[in-house]
Amino acid sequence: MRKDWIAGALTVCLLLTGCGTGAENTAEAARSSMQTNTEEPVSREIFAMDTYMIITAYGENGQEAVDAAEQEIDRLDALLSTGSADSEISRLNAAGTAQLSEDSAELVSRALEINRGTGGAFDITVYPLMQAWGFTDEAYQVPSDSTIAALLEHTGSDQLDWDDDSNTLTLGDGQAVDLGGIAKGYTSGRIMELFDEYGVQSGLVSLGGNVHVHGTKPDGDKWRVGVQDPENSENVVGVLEVTDCAVITSGGYERYFEQNGTTYHHIIDPSTGKPADSGLSSVTIVSADGTLADGLSTALFVMGADKAAEYWRQHADEFDAVLIADDGSISVTEGIADAFSSDQSFEIISRK
């Protein structure tokens, strides 16, 4: 599957370096002439958080910004990874309680907020279910109904005890947590902050195909971010033209196994304990808030198209979305209808 990630990341890159429309207003033209269009970006490819990543920064301090971004990714990976036994999250899971550092605390607090907001569709306590399905160690298996029922007893963020004065999280009986559903969006958001600190006005990061863009392209054009085809992740079904935002996708195609002709993917519906079967094959969220974009991509995938559209109507000022259904049909929320282009026709989800 790593090959797919690489292909996906490269697709994004190709699109991003492609030409924009060329239609520039005076301000944009002035901005491009001031900037060094010929300047080569600093770009680095790394493998972290179980994913293939590319960090790119243009202009002065690009090198320093990319160095700082790489260090930040490594720092957050070491803190949050459930794959390493001495990460803060693994130690919390082993001990059942822990006082969390600033980043983990921020993530837990956002995760709980998204959990409440999405009626439980996003839930960091699905980790024991992820283990039972073998997604954590690639020993894939379909758990028995009784195993799932027993684990569901302990699933639910309402069983967590979160003290936000002391940043102490205490797990309920049999619980373990996993921030994998929002960690990448938080990380890309942190990289945007670092770009700001280093004075980088133009840059982007792709974390396993989840893209976060900073500013515009150096010539003032919008960034062009591809939305992958869930059926073939080397293809894109459409392109979003965006500035200053995260474009984060959750899809069953990103990690899955097959058994007896059935495909089982890694996004668990916390109400059933099984891979979500909501009729969607991918959800792409566009938002200035990377953490929110990541949490909602997972949550709306679980919710399915109708509930996702309803949720968007209540939060249209916070994010937009591209939904791709199992039959390949595409729906786009009104806020990005003009920013999205596709060879395929698509439905627009309107505010009312």
Backbone angles phi, psi at 257, to 5 degrees: -140, 165
Give the whole-angstrom CA distance, residue 94 versus residue 261.
36
Is 87 a binding residue for ligand AMP by CB under 6 A? The answer is no
CA 228 to each of CA 133, 233, 274, 298: distance values in angstroms, whole numbers, following the listed order: 26, 5, 24, 16
Pick 298 or 331: Cβ nearer Mg ion: 298
Sketch the per residue contact string, 228 through 257, with ligand AMP: x for CB under 6 A, - otherwise.
----------------------x---x---
Q: Which of 16, 302, 309, 330 binds ligand AMP (CB under 6 A)?
A: 302
Site for ligand AMP in 126-165 (CB under 6 A): 126, 130
Q: Which of 217, 188, 219, 187 is nearest to 203 (CA)?
A: 217
Give the whole-angstrom CA distance, residue 61 versus residue 54.
17
- H/E stretch holding 91: helix 88-95
Query: If binding means CB under 6 A, how many residues of this protein chain bind ligand AMP?
Result: 18
Backbone angles phi, psi at 48, to 5 degrees: -155, 165
Give the whole-angstrom CA distance, residue 92 versus residue 171.
8
Q: Which of 240, 267, 285, 322 binds ligand AMP (CB under 6 A)?
A: 267
- Picked from Mg ion, ligand AMP, none, the partner binding residue 88 (CB below 5 to 8 A depending on kind) is none
Is 320 a binding residue for Mg ion by CB under 5 A? The answer is no
Of the candidate spans 25-33, 215-223, 290-298, 307-315, the one that interacts with ligand AMP by CB under 6 A turns out to be 290-298
Is 297 a binding residue for ligand AMP by CB under 6 A? The answer is yes
Q: Which of 181, 203, 218, 270 binds Mg ion (CB under 5 A)?
A: 181
Q: Which of 88, 123, 294, 320 binds Mg ion (CB under 5 A)?
A: 294
- Identity of the amino acid at 236: V
Is 209 a binding residue for ligand AMP by CB under 6 A? The answer is no
Of the candidate spans 21-29, 57-65, 233-241, 263-271, the one that interacts with ligand AMP by CB under 6 A turns out to be 263-271
Give the whole-angstrom CA distance, residue 39 versus residue 29.
17
Is 275 a binding residue for Mg ion by CB under 5 A? The answer is no
Report how far apart the first and last C-alpha atoms of the chain are (Å, whole number).
Answer: 40
Give the whole-angstrom CA distance, residue 199 versus residue 194.
8
Residue carrying structure tokens 């009312």? 352
State the residues that interact with Mg ion by CB under 5 A. Answer: 181, 250, 294, 297-298
State the residues that interact with ligand AMP by CB under 6 A. Answer: 122-124, 126, 130, 178, 180-181, 250, 254, 266-268, 270, 294, 297-298, 302
